[in-house]
Amino acid sequence: MSDPAFPEPRTQRPYLIGVAGGSNSGKTTIATRLSELIGGEHLSLIKLDSYYIERSDEPIEVRAAANYDHPDAFDWQLLNDHLAALSAGATVEVPIYDYAIHDRSDRCETVFASKVVVVEGILVLWEPQLRERFDLKIFVDTPPDLRIIRRLRRDVAERGRTPESILDQYLATVRPSHERFIEPSKRYADVIVPEGGLNRPALEVLLARVRELVNQR
């Protein structure tokens, strides 16, 4: 008997999984664990951040001040085109985003039509056409205090930012966009995972189900 919380694949094309949630909610942890369990040869991972719109015609000051948590920051058409191609068995060239310059780099990553394709990002359940492509929609639901602590640690350590700039951005754009766009998209999820990768029981149930689906393909 099928589980309504884990819809069965519609065809033998790649099984498409969308993993959404607030910034630093634990989406990457879940996507990484899926990849580790299933194996890179069977799972392809696409990050929504790779599809930030090109801003090469803007001064870096303008790029730095942009709202990267708003739907208008993403090239939805390109992402939808890539998922359509992967569903047809084709290979796509996914842009590589450079956070240092707030723009796409001149490099791309080759992504293959594996058994499972995971798309991970804050707004992957917001855009209607994209949302309809997923066989399984996951929302990682993590309290705001944990998310901002994780964001502070990450951006200071990995992106060389100051705590002041991180908090200013959080109050100006991250929190408002979360409340307006990201949190409401939770209602479209098939599965809600509280606290992301920290919720080991929920994560293990999810991983076991996806592994079962992969073995059937």
Interval 45-61: pLDDT, tens: 999 999 999 998 999 99
Rounded (5°) CA angle 97-98-101: 135
How far apart are alpha carbons 90 and 139 in whole angstroms? 27
Distances (CA, A) of 140 to 101, 176, 178, 190, 191: 28, 18, 13, 11, 9
pLDDT score of 10: 46
- Residue 55 in any domain: the answer is yes
Q: How many C-beta neighbours within 10 Å does residue 152 have?
A: 16
Which H helix or E strand runs over 21?
strand 15-21
- Per the structure, the complete domain to which residue 141 belongs is given by 15-215
Compute the average pLDDT of residues 128-153.
91
Q: Taken in order 152, 156, 161, 163, is the CA torsion positive or negative?
A: positive
pLDDT score of 158: 81
Residue 125: phi and psi, rounded to 5, are -100, 5
- Residue 8 in any domain: the answer is no
For position 49, which CATH number holds? 3.40.50.300
Q: Say what angle helices 200-215 and 27-38 make with each other, to 10 degrees.
A: 40
Query: Furthest-apart CA pair in the chain: how many Å?
Result: 56
**Number of Cα atoms under 13 Å in the Cβ half of residue 172:** 10
Percent of the chain at pLDDT exceeding 90: 48
The model's pLDDT over 78-132, given as tens digits with 9 standing for 90+, comes to 999 999 999 999 999 999 999 888 889 999 999 999 989 999 999 999 999 999 9
pLDDT score of 208: 83
pLDDT of 3 > 90? The answer is no
Compute the average pLDDT of residues 122-149.
93
Token look-up 């509280």 returns 194
Q: Among 23-32, 118-127, 189-198, whose mean pLDDT is lowest?
A: 189-198
Q: What is the pTM of this model?
A: 0.86
- Residue 5 in any domain: the answer is no
Residues 6 or more apart from 71 whose CB is under 8 A from it?
123, 126, 127, 181
Report how many domains make up the chain: 1
Identity at 155, one-letter amino acid code: D
- Residue 4 in any domain: the answer is no
pLDDT of 206 > 70? The answer is yes
pLDDT score of 7: 55
Average pLDDT over all residues of the chain: 87
- Residue 96 in any domain: the answer is yes
pLDDT of 195 > 80? The answer is no
pLDDT score of 76: 98
pLDDT score of 9: 47
What is the radius of gyration, based on Cα positions, of the chain?
17
- Residue 9 in any domain: the answer is no
